[in-house]
Amino acid sequence: MCTVTYIPQEGNQYILTSNRDEQASRSPQNITRIEQKGVELIFPRDEGAGGTWIAVANTDQVVCLLNGAFDQHQRNPPYRKSRGIMVLEFFEYENAAQFLKKYEFQGMEPFTMIICEQGKLIEFRWDGEHPFVKELDTTTQYIWSSSTLYTEEVKQKRRDWFATWQAENEQPDLKAIMDFHRNAGDGDPFNDVIMNRNGLVQTVSITNIIRKKAQIDVHYHDLLNQRLKTAKNELSRELVESI
């Protein structure tokens, strides 16, 4: 949940990719598929709290979570509930607007949430006291890094790596995106895009969300076991034709 890129593709399509930096014991080996209030969800389930950092719905909605809002914050537990559980609860609401209006964020630890919903891209940050909502241009490429692990100086360095990669890849496909998520950096294992801080926290997985014309594909790369798991959610004809 710590390095995320959004790369638009032709025809209102996109690839959202998330490198998860976490304790190895919390890393799932499989993709979970459930039905929740009539909505089909696909996500890797966190082995600790049981939630997730990234989830896909057949309602053409994707939610991706990063820890922290703008800066490193002082933890002050206990918190109301796990942020990963909140990601799953997002899909209990009709849309992002209803979630942002009605969900109780007080008592939640700071986070950044990226929402892709039916042709919209929304960045939502909660700093522990106030919400910050921004609708982004879906034709622009973006990178985010977790504020709990990376200082502003390091986040800027990562944006610089991203800018260099963009200049070398004018129309990046999945292969080029994966090359960035696997290899970007300057040889510093604490802060490279594939990171490892003495085994305590490390990049345990890479998840690609590939929005196609009539479906959303999920590629879950389990780096600890060197396995790839895939799944897809087919979108309704009405949703496909409306976008």
pLDDT, one tens digit per residue, over 186-208 is 999 999 999 999 999 999 999 99
Tell me which amino acid residue 194 is.
I
Residue 38 class from Cβ within 10 Å (0-12 exposed, 13-18 middle, 19+ buried)?
exposed
Q: How far is it, in rounded angstroms, from Cα 134 to Cα 2?
A: 19
In the beta sheet, which residues pair with residue 17? 5, 208
Tell me which amino acid residue 65 is.
L
Out of 30-34, 36-40, 224-228, 237-241, pick the least confident.
237-241
Q: What is the band of 240 on the pLDDT scale with cuts at 50, 70, 90?
A: low
Task: Give the pair of three-digit tokens for residue 211.
Answer: 């929005």
Count CB-CB contacts under 10 A for residue 187.
6
Backbone angles phi, psi at 34, to 5 degrees: -135, 165
pLDDT tens for each residue of 95-149: 999 999 999 999 999 999 999 999 999 999 999 999 999 999 999 999 999 999 9
pLDDT value, residue 239:
58
pLDDT value, residue 236:
76
pLDDT value, residue 242:
58
pLDDT value, residue 47:
86
Residue 91 class from Cβ within 10 Å (0-12 exposed, 13-18 middle, 19+ buried)?
buried
For the chain, give the number of residues: 243
> For 36, how many CA atoms within 13 A lie in the half-sphere containing its CB?
20
Q: How far is CA 68 from CA 106, 159, 177, in A?
A: 15, 17, 24
pLDDT tens for each residue of 46-75: 988 899 999 999 999 999 999 999 999 999
